[in-house]
Amino acid sequence: MARYVAGWRSELAWESDPLARTWRLTGPAGGQRYLKSAPADAEVPLRGEAVRLRWAGRNGLPVPKVVAACAVGQAEWLLTEALPGRRASAPELRADPGALVPILAEGLRRFHQSPAGQCPFPGGIEVALAHVGRRLRAGLISTADLHPEHAHLSPAAAVGELERLRPDGEDLVVCHGDYCLPNVGYDVTA
């Protein structure tokens, strides 16, 4: 990874926990990249994110180009090119919900309009319930994780409610996976 970032200045852009960080890198010629780090055993491994980004890019979605992805010891690294435009987390945009909401909606619309049948990453009801079941059996769900409306339930009872309330059918769409302000940008020229 070092050969891709030698000579680039870095500043911390985002930290979701002390072991998961994103740096904004500025190259000698002014170009920008983002370098993410996460534990190799993270729930969503960066190697999986790299595969998904590459697929999304090949399918016309506005995602950053993967420069490099690797694992070193107990850490994973993902280096991407910056997308053109501005970040949705910009303070002036966050202060203007009337401008922010349509930008976020358009981004989601672009993902959801992609052909879900061609997406190789399963994520329907069965996959989601199997995932939550594994987390429950591993003791990774606590009452503190539950929405206050369901705080009276035990984790097992909450998972039981998910099973009981499962919908009869699905309307599958391609989803972003981590659609939050630091991960969304918008083109100021559009």
Quick: pLDDT tens for 26-59.
Answer: 999 999 999 999 998 887 789 999 999 999 999 8
Domain 2-83: top CATH class: alpha beta
Q: Residue 1: pLDDT above 80?
A: no
Q: Residue 164: pLDDT above 70?
A: yes
Given this model, what pLDDT does residue 130 score? 94
- Two tokens at 112? 């959801």
Q: Residue 188: pLDDT above 70?
A: no
Cα four-point dihedral sign 168, 56, 106, 64: positive
106-124 pLDDT per residue, tens: 989 988 888 888 889 888 8
Q: Residue 135: pLDDT above 60?
A: yes
Rg (CA), the chain: 19
d(CA 17, CA 12) in angstroms, rounded, equals 12
Q: Residue 143: pLDDT above 70?
A: yes
Q: Which residues of 79-117 are buried (b: 16+ CB within 10 A; e: fewer)?
A: bbebbeeebbbeeebeeeeeebeebbeebeeebeebebe
Task: Over range 132-137, report the average pLDDT.
Answer: 94
Cβ burial, residue 133 (10 Å; 0-12/13-18/19+): middle
Report whether 57 contacts 23 (CB < 8 A).
Answer: no
d(CA 65, CA 22) in angstroms, rounded, equals 16
Among residues 96, 145, 178, 187, the one annotated as catalytic is 178
Please, what is the average pLDDT of the chain? 89
**pLDDT above 70: percentage of residues in the chain:** 98
Given this model, what pLDDT does residue 38 score? 92
59-89 pLDDT per residue, tens: 888 899 999 999 888 999 999 999 888 888 8
d(CA 14, CA 22) in angstroms, rounded, equals 5
170-179 pLDDT per residue, tens: 988 898 888 8
Task: Over range 99-104, report the average pLDDT.
Answer: 92
Region for residue 73 given its phi and psi (left: phi exceeds 0; alpha: psi -120 to 50; beta: otherwise): left
Domain boundaries, the chain: 2-83
Task: Read off the pTM.
Answer: 0.80
178 is catalytic: yes
